Amino acid sequence: MVKLQYAFAALAGLVGLAESKDSPRQRAKALLKKMTWEEKVAQMGSIRRLLKLGPEVDEENYESRYELQHGTIGFGPMFNWILDALPIVNDVREKEIKDSRLHIPFITVTDSVNGLFISGGTVFPSNLAMSSTFNLPLFKSVAEAIREEQLSIGVTWVLSPPLDISWEPRYGRIGELFGEDSYLTGEFGHTYVQTMQDKDKNGNIKVACTIKHFVYGESRGGVNAASQYGGINHLFNDQLRPYIRALEADPAAVMVSYASVDLVPMSMNEYMIQEILRGKLGFDGVVMSDAGSISNMYTQSRVATSYADAGLQALKAGLQMELSPGNPAVFPNLIDNVKDKTVAKLIDEAVLNLLTIKFATGLFDNELPDVETSNKTLRQPAHLKLAREADREGIVLLKNDGILPKTPKQVALLGPFGELLNAGSYAAINVSNPKWGDSLHTSLKSALGEKNVKFVPAVDLIDTADDSGIADAVSAAKDAGFAALMLGSLSAPIEDPLFKKRTDGEFFAHADLGLPGLQQQLLDAVLDTGVPTVLILTGGQPFVLNNSTLRSNAILHSLLGGEFTSSALVEIITGEVNPSGKLTISMPQLSSAIPAFYDYLPSDDTGGSEARLGFHSAYQWPVLTKDSPMPFGFGLSYTTFDISTPTAEYKNGNVNIRVTVKNTGDVAGKEVVQVYHRPNTSVGIEFPLRRLVRFEKVDLAAGESKEVKFQIPNKELGYYANAKLKVQEGLYNFWAGSSSRVEDLKGVNVTVTL
């Protein structure tokens, strides 16, 4: 392997630009003046898949795109190993710097959900599992690790974080999101942007972020890329809330969604981009398309008469960069319209923004990454430790009749997920290849001894024809006297051999929130035996737990955990780790009893007493989750906690909340203290029954107590009316507790003055 090392001076000399004491924007302006229209248009496009599996450069793709779309590059197949790929990619990067007319470096842009979007990095939990930790300091550390790993391979721009709220549980991509709550999503998103965009010693942004998908997450019927509704108050109080928070960390870019919002595809939605994003939200960075979303305007939504027309409409609406995984790309057509002054001006503005990111991330000044540093950085012990910790804290214990913790002598591991890694469709994991990580089968064998674990996959992931394995599973359960079933929904990357068996992730919607294939039948048969059973759910979605399923002695949801999920599960089952995850998506009680998010409006709960009629006549919202509610914030522990009635004081524009949390059980554990609020005053806008306003995860030894203090500035009690933030004087209700359920909360009132 060739060691690559480039001297700062050499590269800077080649580029030959203004002194680096000028601001990135000044330097970009100077460079822009020297560029031809072809060079400018090319900056607005990308060579997203530089490599083929091997790895080797996909020359054909490169050549076909280079002329008019080479602002950014991406690696391509995630099953290439980065240490093999890096020298090849560096050669391409170096060639561009040396040989292109103006020596403008490529910027390497990749997805960044669980970590690197190519194999060889640490695989952290997906965002949904990450949010279930309710542990922001831990997430900050994870983001730092991801940042260092990305930087070490020359990625200085990521297509993260997603900030869409998961109000539509049928939507297949909620495993990529931070859950249903707009405050929690905003906090995780803000932390990610702030951490990734940390400045290096030269004042350069380490890794530029893209907040996305502006806006999305409530698509009709949960269908990927489907339309969704608008409404300025809904936008500002719900969907845009995480964006408003994350924008405080000044992310470099915004990616628009595939959706049509209020009937207008986002890639041409001038109102949303110019009036809302640029105007009301004050964003001045790069606005990019989602992959293929501009061409969709012509081929799918039929709001453009040609590819060229789609490109022009998108440019005029405000798009400045095109993500285009396949040919044809649309923006190269802009070259035919550069004599149009409006078009020319918009291209100049776009390229100025794009070059500014290249300067701001130090691309013109810093060395290319070297394999040695990368090798030291990737999967360093500290990162693996963090990943392990995140996997432990993201798992949610949904039910436990006392069976757990338990170290069984023998266990029957049943279900098709016993030998798979299910980390999400943007995780660089080959789900069935042990090279990528330990399965639950492997982890159980390590913990209990090989001979004490009998694994029977029993049923296929999706097929419903063959139930012949169920009998074997039942026998194994009876023989072992203890069953662990790992069941769920596969979210595999597009290149995975099992891709065709997946039912979760991008492109998918779940009209049925039960278990695919014959998994429910397998579970029912095992539960019928009466053998003590632990059910482990896996998938980036809530599942409907029917009455049969609820017979399980314990239920854990591992969501889309990272590479240490299996060992974390074993640690939790055996009690080495006390579970502390909390749901960030409410579990519906029926696939059609949706949406099921906790912060619904009072109007959505139009009282009555017809609960006896069940799902055939759900009079009110709580009926939909009445039997065994597992809403947002819910999750059990092996110990018990007492969270005191909160006290509240209003002083100097802040509400100060204090609670004492005590571990009243026998083992150490972590509890998430959650504070909810609502204005109990006239607010013009209808406010949800309650909303999360603060949370903190507290680590307590058995018997230990801690006081937890929260300070909430009054502006955070406000709401948006017609896009303006309003804070109301008057009485506010606050609650503190261990979940969003009424029975888990204690209240206090406080009067806010302005």
- Closest to a second copy by CB, 290 or 322: 290
CB of 607 to a second copy, least distance (A): 8
The reply on whether position 602 binds a second copy by CB under 8 A is yes
Which 242-271 positions form the footprint of a second copy (CB under 8 A)? Answer: 258-265, 268, 271
Q: Is residue 703 within the footprint of a second copy (CB under 8 A)?
A: no
Does residue 41 sit in helix, strand or coil?
A: helix
Between CA 102 and CA 32 the distance in angstroms is 10
Give the bridge partners for 661, in sequence order.
643, 706
Residue closer to a second copy (CB basis): 471 or 511: 511
Q: Which residues pair with 692 in a beta bridge?
A: 676
Among 99-107, 241-249, 520-528, 612-620, which window interacts with a second copy (CB under 8 A)? Answer: 612-620
- 198 counts as binding a second copy under rule CB under 8 A: no
Range 704-723, binding a second copy (CB under 8 A): 722
Give the separation between CA 106 and CA 96, rounded to whole angstroms. 7
CB of 692 within 8 A of CB of 245? no
Which is closer to a second copy, CB of 647 or CB of 680? 680
Neighbours of 524 (CB within 10 A): 15
Q: What string of DSSP letters covers 320-385?
A: -B---SSSPPSGGGGGGGTTSHHHHHHHHHHHHHHHHHHHHTTTTTSPPP-HHHHHHHTT-HHHHH
Q: How far is the CB of 436 from a second copy (least distance, A)?
A: 23
The Cα 660–Cα 372 span in angstroms is 49
Residue window 295-334: x/- pattern of binding to a second copy, with contact defined by CB under 8 A: -x---xxxxxx---x---x---------------------
Residues 570-599 that bind a second copy (CB under 8 A): 590-595
Cα-Cα-Cα-Cα dihedral of 340, 343, 347, 353, to 10°? 140
* Residue 613 within binding range of a second copy, rule CB under 8 A: yes
Rounded Cα distance between 601 and 719, Å, is 14
Indicate whether 681 belongs to the interface with a second copy (CB under 8 A): yes
Provide, rounded to whole angstroms, the least separation between the CB of residue 621 and a second copy: 6
Q: Binders of a second copy among 487-516, rule CB under 8 A?
A: 489, 502-504, 507-514, 516
Residues 6+ apart with CB under 8 A from 26: 18
Q: Considering only residues 217-236, where is the footprint of a second copy by CB under 8 A?
A: 219-227, 229-234
Q: Based on the number of CB atoms within 10 Å of its own CB, is 203 exposed (0-12), middle (13-18) or buried (19 or more)?
A: exposed
Q: Could you give the CA distance from residue 98 to residue 13 in angstroms, rounded to a whole number? A: 10
Rounded CA-CA distance 114/126 in Å is 5
* CB 492, min distance to a second copy, A: 12
Q: Which of 624, 630, 750, 752 binds a second copy (CB under 8 A)?
A: 624
The window from 80-88, 294-302, 324-332, 472-480 that contacts a second copy (CB under 8 A) reads 294-302
d(CA 265, CA 132): 32
- Separation of alpha carbons 344 and 357, rounded Å: 20
The CB-of-296 to a second copy minimum distance in angstroms stands at 8
**Which of the residues 83 through 112 are near a second copy (CB under 8 A)?**
none
Q: Which is nearer to a second copy, 614 or 665 (CB)?
A: 614
- Alpha-carbon distance of 718 to 716, in angstroms, equals 5
Q: Using CB under 8 A, which of the segments 391-399, 601-609, 651-659, 745-753 binds a second copy?
A: 601-609
Tell me the sheet residues that pair with 678.
733
Nearer to a second copy, 502 or 697 (CB): 502
Find the shortest distance in angstroms from Cβ 679 to a second copy.
Answer: 8
Binding mask 157-196 for a second copy (x = CB under 8 A): -------------x-x------------------------
- Cβ atoms within 10 Å of 615's Cβ, excluding its own: 12
User: Which region, judged by CB under 8 A, interacts with a second copy, from 185-193, 403-411, 607-615, 701-709?
Assistant: 607-615
Task: Kindly state whether residue 401 participates in binding a second copy, applying the rule CB under 8 A.
Answer: no
Nearer residue to a second copy within complex by CB, 73 or 513 = 513
Pick the closer one to a second copy by CB: 607 or 653: 607
Question: Between residue 516 and residue 535, which ones bind a second copy under the rule CB under 8 A?
Answer: 516
Q: Which is nearer to a second copy, 168 or 571 (CB)?
A: 168
Q: Which stretch binds a second copy (CB under 8 A): 85-93, 476-484, 613-621, 653-661?
A: 613-621
First-to-last CA distance in the chain?
65
Q: Note whether 25 and 356 are within 8 A (CB).
A: yes
CA atoms of 152 and 379, how far apart (whole Å): 11
Region 720-749 residues binding a second copy, contact defined as CB under 8 A: 722
Of 233 and 647, CB closest to a second copy? 233
> Cα(139)–Cα(178) distance, rounded to whole angstroms?
12
Nearest CA among 354, 346, 330, 353 for reference residue 68: 330
CB of 534 to a second copy, least distance (A): 23
Residue 618 CB, shortest distance to a second copy, in Å, is: 5
- Radius of gyration, CA atoms only, the chain: 26
| Contact call for residue 347 and a second copy (CB under 8 A) | no
Cβ proximity to a second copy, 54 vs 684, nearer residue: 684
CA atoms within 13 A on the CB side of 490: 28
Which of 18, 338, 344, 462 binds a second copy (CB under 8 A)? It is 462
Question: In the complex, what is the shortest distance from the CB of residue 518 to a second copy, in angstroms, rounded to a whole number?
Answer: 12
151 phi and psi, to 5 degrees?
Answer: -60, -40
> Is the separation of the CB atoms in 207 and 151 below 8 Å?
yes
